[in-house]
Each structure stands twice: as C-alpha cells, then as structure tokens.
Structure 1
Amino acid sequence: MKTRPIRTTLLAVAMVGTVPGTAHAVRIDYTIEAGVERDDNVTLAAQDQVEETIARAGFGFALEEETSVLHASVVGRADHRRYGDAYGSMTDRMLEGRLAWHAVPERLTLVAEDSYGVETIDRTAPGSPDNRQQVNVFAIGPDLHFGLGPAQRGIAEFRYINSNAEVTDQFNSDRLLASVAMVRALDPTRELSWNVRAQEVDFDDDFVARDHRRYEAFVGYAHRLRRFDMQVDAGWAHLDYDDGQTRSEPLLRAEFGWAGSERSRVSLALANQFSDAAAAALDRIGEGGGIPGSVGTGTSTINPYAYRERSAALRYEFTGVRLSASLGGFVQRLDYVDQAGANEEGRGIAAGLRYRLRPDLVFSTAASVSRIEFGAPEIRTETDRLYTIGLDKAWNRHWHSSLTVSHYQRDSSLAGVDEFDQNVVYLNLSYRNR
C-alpha cells in the first residue's frame, strides 16, 4: 500500500498541534469501540455468497478549535475488520477537515484542507473489500486580505493541491489554484462580490489524463437573516486543454436555507459548473458534523476527467428533544469532457429518524434508494437500496452498546449481471469521552 496519502493527511493534523499558544483551547471528542459483525454476503456476490463473522474495532474523533488565532475543524475515523478466509484483516481510514491559522490578523491566513477516505476502484462494481482504495486530496496555501474602503474588502487566495489514489494512478495530480475576490457590504445582512479564479492541473500520467487549465469569472450575492440565508454565484467557466481543445459553459452555484422554526430547516443546493473528482472531494469538506459513525465507501467515480455538473439537492431536517428526522433527495448529471469517462445521470432519496425511547435508550432507522445511469462505453443502470435499524443503550455517561441491522440490495440492467443483497448484524460496546 502506498504511504503518500497517509503522510499528507498527517500533515494537516500535525499543524493543529504546532501553532503556539492554542493547544489549551482545542476540544476533542472521541469514541473507541469493539464489536462483532455477522455478514451473510461479504463479497457482495449474486452467486456463491460468502457468510462470515467479523471481529471489528474502531476509533473516531472530532476536533474543534476557534480562537482569534486559529480555527480548526477536523474529523477522522479508523475501522479495523478481521475477516475470515475471504479477505484477512483490513483497516479503512478517513480524515476530513480544514485549518486556518491567522498568522497576521486581518491580513494573512494560512489554510490547510484535507479530504481522505475510501472510494471504489471500479465505480460500477459493488463496493466489496477487494474493490476499495484510499483516496486523498490535500490543499494548502495563504489567504491575503486587503482593505478597499469602509464597506469593501479584497481577498486573494493561493493553493497548492495534491490528489492521490491508492490504485487509480491516473487520478494523481498536482494543481495550482489562484483566486481574487472583491467584496462589498451592501448592508449588515447582504454582500456582493466580484470573483475570478484560475486553476492549473498537471497529472502524473499524461498519457491517459490531459493537463488543462480551468477559469471562472462570476458575481456572488449573499443574504443572511435569522431564518433565511442564500448564496448565489453566477458567471462563466472555461476549460483550456494543452492539446488545444477548449470548452465554455455558464456557471451557477446556489444555496438557499430556511429555518421554519427553531428546530427545523429546509435547504436547497443548485449547481451548473465544471468540476472533477478531486475538486468535488474538497467541496464536500464540512458537510458532516460530529464523530463519524463509520468509514463509509464513497460514491464518486475516481478518474482524472473533468465534467460538467448539473445538480439539485433538497433536504429537510427536524431536531427535537426526543425526535430527530431528516428527508432529502437529489438529481445529478455528469457530462464528461473526455470520451473515456462514462457520463452519469443519477437520482436518489434518503430518510432518517432517531427517537429517544427512554433517557438511556435511543431507536434509529434510515432508508435510502439511488439510481445511477452510466453512459458509454458500457451503458447500464444501477439501483441501490439500503435500510437500517438500530438501538443504542447508554449504561452510563461514557459506556454505550449498540445493535444495528442493515439490508443492502443492488439491481443492474446489464445483461449477465444478477442482483444481489446483503444482510449485516453488528453488536458493539463503545467508550465515549463526553
């Protein structure tokens, strides 16, 4: 296994501990757990399914720091599984976070971002243990802040970005990103900005992947009220390849949020933009909060190809004293600029519920269905369904035990590929420091 991805993620964590005078303000929540899992289809196969009892151990943490000098938000987890004859022992790892060190307050900030996790090697195949790889995208660089008047300010950002995949070498790249924004405060709740951004992408494997530059010019508008917030970027995007090919498209990124009450929120996200797997990984940093419950296998196609993304996602969340619930859906189309990348069109819906039966006992359930249509060179439709139920028992402030039952099913339209399902039962004992 390659060590390059691990070294870059450790750099982001190490920086948190090297900033003088901030260690005392760091808050770290963590969970240590051990358990046993019964899986009736470890290989995710349609025939000759392998059933195993798996010993598991895990460690997860969430780190938060916010002072006048340092802002850091990092989450991570490692899950170790001891399989039987099928795979032996394997450890999956993830780390995601952002660190901003204000070296010169209101003038110079050093920023580091990292997205490190597990993705499939073959996106169209099941995410069995032999079809998983560690993928890392790391970015570091300065933000320069400068004043332009009483109601205006400027921000110049520079980043070095490295992307690395354990198996898919074509994904590996080095990138340079530069952006300049002029921001004007219209009033205490509204901002208008003018932005230009340029990124140069240099792939390690120039035979498969094409080096290129990506340019964006857009106007941004932000409005933040107590119950409503919005952020809209609108402009133009341009791709310029070294072999002479170019492509331009309108650019739109929009997010809307409305809190109907103190306990509920509806959010809507829209996008029409150029992106790729590495850029999307950095964009997802900060989407989840708290200690990760497990190291999940991502749903991105890990390849070097740029694509045009058109997507919409709607989500509702309710957080009550005893009941918490969520419901969300998405539609997405990825049109790859390179013919070697198979276009994708997907849609899905997910729901979750958590209910406190007693002060020491919590019931939870979740369900999700997604349908992805893959284009040439291999046209197929994959439908995934996942259902889970669980109970969490608190023995005292620190010690908990959990029982989780899940059912996973995949259907494929490709001739000769049969559907399969998987049932997993997991019982664990965990220690939580808070």
Structure 2
Amino acid sequence: MLTSTTLARAIALGLAAVPACSLAGTLDYTLYAGLEHSNNIALSSDRPLSENVLTPGATFQFNQLGSTFQANVLGTVEYRKYLEGHFDPQTQTQMGAQANWTVLPQRLDFSVEDYAGVQPVDQLSADSPDNRQQTNVLVLGPTLRMRFGDAARGQLELRYINSYASKVDQFDSSRGMAAFRLYRDLGPTDQVSGNVEFQRVDFTHQPDGANYDRKEAFVRYTRKLPHFDADVLLGGTRLSFDQGRSVSAPLVRLRVGWQPTLRNAVSLAGTWQYADAAQDIITTPGVYGAGLQADRAEAIDPFANTGGLGRGATGNGIGVGSAVIGSQVYRERRVEANWNWRGDRLTVTVSPAIGKLAYLDDPTFDQTARGLSVGMGYRMTPTLTLSGFGTYEHVDYRTLDRSDHTTRLGLDLAKEINRHWSWHISVARERRSSDAAAQSYREAECFVGVVYRR
C-alpha cells in the first residue's frame, strides 16, 4: 500500500508551528465515489488483466488570509480497492500546502510548505498499480524581513527541506537553504528583485560523493495587469559536488499570461535549469514532480484531475506523474503553452509542450518529449455537459535507442442534479507503441461515479 507517513508528519508539524490562533478560514471540499473497469489494468503487452476498481475519495481546499496566520492548502485523498484481487488496496495523497505565521509584523515570519504526490517507481515501465509510490517534499523555516525606504525591502530566508519517497530511497534527502532577496517596486503593477541562494544537499541513502552545494544568483521581474501578467527569472546556477566536480549553467524560468478577450486566455511557460526531482517540485509546486510529461493545471482528461502529458489514475481523483524519482541531477529545458476559449456553451483547451532532459551522471533517462493535449466541452443543457479529450505524446530515449508514442482518447458525460450532487460517466481508450520489449499496450476504460460538493 502507498503510505504517506511523512505527509502526516509534515501536517502535524505545520499545525504545531501555528500559534493558538483561530483558524477562521474557508474550507471547501468534495466527496466522490466511483467504479472503474479496465480491460488491461496493468497495461500489459501480452497478458491483459481485467479489473474493477472502487475509488472513494475526497478533495479539499482551505484558505485563510489573516493578520497573523495565512494558509492555502489544496489536496486529494483517494482509496483504491481492486475488487478482483489482482493488486493490494492503495491509499494515495496529492497535496500542495503553504502556511505562514507572522511572529513579528513586518519583521519575522515562519512558513511551512508541503508538496505530496504519486509518481512511478520505474519511469520506463507502464503505469500499473504496482509501479506507483508516494512522494513528499517538506519545506519549513523563518523569514526575516527588512525595509529600505518606501519602495525597497529585503528578506533573509532560512529553510530546512526534506524529500521522501515510499519505495525509491535514492530520493530521500535533507537540505539546508539560505537566501537573501532585495525587492524594488517599479510601480503599482511592476516589481524587480535580486536574489542569491545557497543550498546544501545531503542524500540519505547515497554515497557521500553524490552530495553537493547549489549556488544561484538571479534577477526576477514580475508584472500584473488585469489582462496580462509576466514572471521572468534570469540568472545562473553552479553545482559543486563533494567528489570534486563543479558544473555551471544559465537559469531561466518564465511565464507569460494574456487574456485578450473575456473568452480567450493564452499562457506560455519555459524553463532552462539544473534540477533534480525534489528541486523541481520546490521551484514548480503546481507540478507534482519533474519530467517532461509533467501534469498540467488544466483538467483535460476526466480520468485524471490534473490531465496533461501523462497517464493519470482513473476517476475524479489523483493523477499519476511521470517523474524520474531519484537523486540524479539533470539539465532541464521545457516550453509549454496553453490556449483556453470559453463560449456560452462550448469550451476548448489546447496545450502543446516540448522538452528535453540531460542527466549529468547516468544518461539512461536522457529524453526528448513532445506532446499535445486537446479538450472540448459542450453544455447540452444547463445541467448536462458532454466533454471530449485527446492527448498525444512522443518520447525519445537517446541512450536506449527507444521511442514511445502514446495516444489517449475519451468522452465524459456529467450531470448536475442540484447544487451539491452530480454524476459522471466516462470512457477512454489508450494505446502505446514502443520500441522497447513488452512496453506496447492497449487499454479501454469506463467509469461511473457520483460527486458531492459542499
């Protein structure tokens, strides 16, 4: 069973760090339950297993914006019971949480962040139920704030970071991070900052030579307008390993969003950096794990609440990522875009992406990925919506001389009974063609479920 011991410990620690203040925030949640049928639950190329899966679960969101305590917690907990007995039951958790306690107003804060998700044990194998594990990254520490006039301010951050995976212990690490940031307001909508960060990374189950120091310096510019926003980060990274080797590379992260009309929204995001799986989770918390097939924010596939370039878990619950969980450092280059159009009845989402990973030590997982996701929804009546989706992904592993082509198509019919209750009927087909032995497969799925919204 996938466990989330570290996650529970992190939540308890975060609550212990909060003073005896009233949690007067807003809590929204949904409860859901469904029955899934798959004619190839293990995604086998030659021995398909038919399986029925009971999937009760809950999603929750808590927000509080107070003078001494601020929090934003979004998560899903799901239990998967395999009724034919081919796999053991699984409890899976996906969560992104940020909490901040103001110890001294405008002087000293203490923050806790936690990012939990489900990732594969072996990224080169298909997403069968026994190829999943729980991952968690916990970040906590104080922030000292300083002010230099009306438009300039600074802050010193100290953080302890712990990463954990339930099956791959090479991911487990303890990190210490110190950062100094100087902010300057250019106007009511524009801000620029200079940042210097130092991080010490020690892996729990790796040789001492795998540990390293990470040094970064970068400039960040943000702009927020009613119909346009930009976040651009430019700098450099230097990694110094205990074994004596050092490497350097540019550091670029950017995101641009534009809403030309009330019906249209366009976004573009790009990354060029040195990272490992835990570092990517910290710097990109909306993406549960690294990798080129990282889950998307827009829910295109009704069988996975995060959709995107990667096969998720069937149902209305947790999507399974496709990160390479371990200690290896890689150079990551990725560009992805999203276009969303909303009409009175019709909605359309198109999301292309391209990316490349190059590992420093072991090139086994070096890869280039290209993908496209398309989703459409049509509101047939005020309470009945028919949605369709299609995703295509092409991944080349250069060292392995392997190429995977994965196509997924599906339909979802959703009916709102009242403001609290709704039901879903979904069907999907997936096909992968691979050069690797026993990695090609076909699968058909259907799902029936009910949802209660608070």
TM range (shorter): over 0.9
Quote the Cα distance in structure 1 between the aligned partners of 2:4 and 2:264.
43
State whether residues 114 and 282 of structure 1, in contact with CA within 8 Å, keep that contact through their aligned partners in structure 2.
Answer: no
SS at match of 2:106: coil
2:404 paired with 1:382: yes
**Structure 1 pair 77/64, CA: closer, same or farther in 2 (3 Å)?**
same
State whether residues 170 and 209 of structure 1, in contact with CA within 8 Å, keep that contact through their aligned partners in structure 2.
Answer: no
Quote the Cα distance in structure 2 between the aligned partners of 1:184 and 1:55.
53
Quote the Cα distance in structure 2 between the aligned partners of 1:272 and 1:89.
39
AA paired with 1:166?
A: S
Quote the Cα distance in structure 2 between the aligned partners of 1:423 and 1:389.
12
Query: Number of paired residues?
Result: 429
Quote the Cα distance in structure 1 between the aligned partners of 2:33 and 2:141.
39
- Provide the aligned C-alpha RMSD in A: 2.2
Equivalences for 1:19-418 in 2 at 5 Å? Answer: 19-24=19-24, 26-83=25-82, 84-207=84-207, 210-286=210-286, 288=297, 293-339=316-362, 342-376=365-399, 378-414=400-436, 416-417=437-438
SS at match of 1:124: coil
**Structure 1 pair 289/371, CA: closer, same or farther in 2 (3 Å)?**
closer
How many angstroms does 1:225 deviate by?
2.4
**Structure 1 pair 121/265, CA: closer, same or farther in 2 (3 Å)?**
same
Quote the Cα distance in structure 2 between the aligned partners of 1:208 and 1:143.
30
Quote the Cα distance in structure 2 between the aligned partners of 1:235 and 1:331.
22
Per-residue CA shift, 1:339-381, capped at 9, x if unaligned?
26521211111122223221221222222111222233x3312
Per-residue CA shift, 1:87-133, capped at 9, x if unaligned?
14222222222112222222222221111111100001001001111
Quote the Cα distance in structure 1 between the aligned partners of 2:143 and 2:427.
46
2:453 paired with 1:432: yes
* TM-score between both structures, scaled by the size of structure 1: 0.93
**Structure 1 pair 235/283, CA: closer, same or farther in 2 (3 Å)?**
closer
State whether residues 317 and 326 of structure 1, in contact with CA within 8 Å, keep that contact through their aligned partners in structure 2.
Answer: yes
**Structure 1 pair 316/71, CA: closer, same or farther in 2 (3 Å)?**
farther
Quote the Cα distance in structure 1 between the aligned partners of 2:384 and 2:428.
19
SS at match of 1:222: strand
How many angstroms does 1:187 deviate by?
2.2
AA paired with 2:7?
A: I
How many angstroms does 1:173 deviate by?
0.2
State whether residues 179 and 196 of structure 1, in contact with CA within 8 Å, keep that contact through their aligned partners in structure 2.
Answer: yes
AA paired with 2:352?
A: G
**Structure 1 pair 208/153, CA: closer, same or farther in 2 (3 Å)?**
closer
**Structure 1 pair 12/227, CA: closer, same or farther in 2 (3 Å)?**
farther
Which residue among 442, 450, 454 is the counterpart of 1:421?
Answer: 442
State whether residues 209 and 242 of structure 2, in contact with CA within 8 Å, keep that contact through their aligned partners in structure 1.
Answer: no
State whether residues 110 and 140 of structure 1, in contact with CA within 8 Å, keep that contact through their aligned partners in structure 2.
Answer: yes
State whether residues 315 and 327 of structure 1, in contact with CA within 8 Å, keep that contact through their aligned partners in structure 2.
Answer: yes
Q: Structure 1 stretch 119-128 or stretch 332-341: which is displaced more?
A: 332-341
State whether residues 126 and 439 of structure 2, in contact with CA within 8 Å, keep that contact through their aligned partners in structure 1.
Answer: no
- 2:7 — aligned with what? 6
Q: Structure 1 stretch 4-13 or stretch 124-133: which is displaced more?
A: 4-13
Per-residue CA shift, 1:64-103, capped at 9, x if unaligned?
2223333222122122222113114222222222112222
Quote the Cα distance in structure 1 between the aligned partners of 2:123 and 2:226.
41
**Structure 1 pair 54/186, CA: closer, same or farther in 2 (3 Å)?**
closer
**Structure 1 pair 136/233, CA: closer, same or farther in 2 (3 Å)?**
same
State whether residues 390 and 403 of structure 1, in contact with CA within 8 Å, keep that contact through their aligned partners in structure 2.
Answer: yes
SS at match of 2:407: strand
**Structure 1 pair 88/219, CA: closer, same or farther in 2 (3 Å)?**
closer
Quote the Cα distance in structure 1 between the aligned partners of 2:209 and 2:266.
39
AA paired with 2:60?
A: F
Long gaps (5+) in structure 2: 288-296, 300-304, 307-315
SS at match of 2:9: helix
State whether residues 170 and 208 of structure 1, in contact with CA within 8 Å, keep that contact through their aligned partners in structure 2.
Answer: no
* TM-score between both structures, scaled by the size of structure 2: 0.89
Per-residue CA shift, 1:13-48, capped at 9, x if unaligned?
6369x5444422x22221212222111101110112
Long gaps (5+) in structure 1: none
Quote the Cα distance in structure 2 between the aligned partners of 1:10 and 1:278.
18
How many angstroms does 1:183 deviate by?
1.2
Identity of aligned residues (%): 31
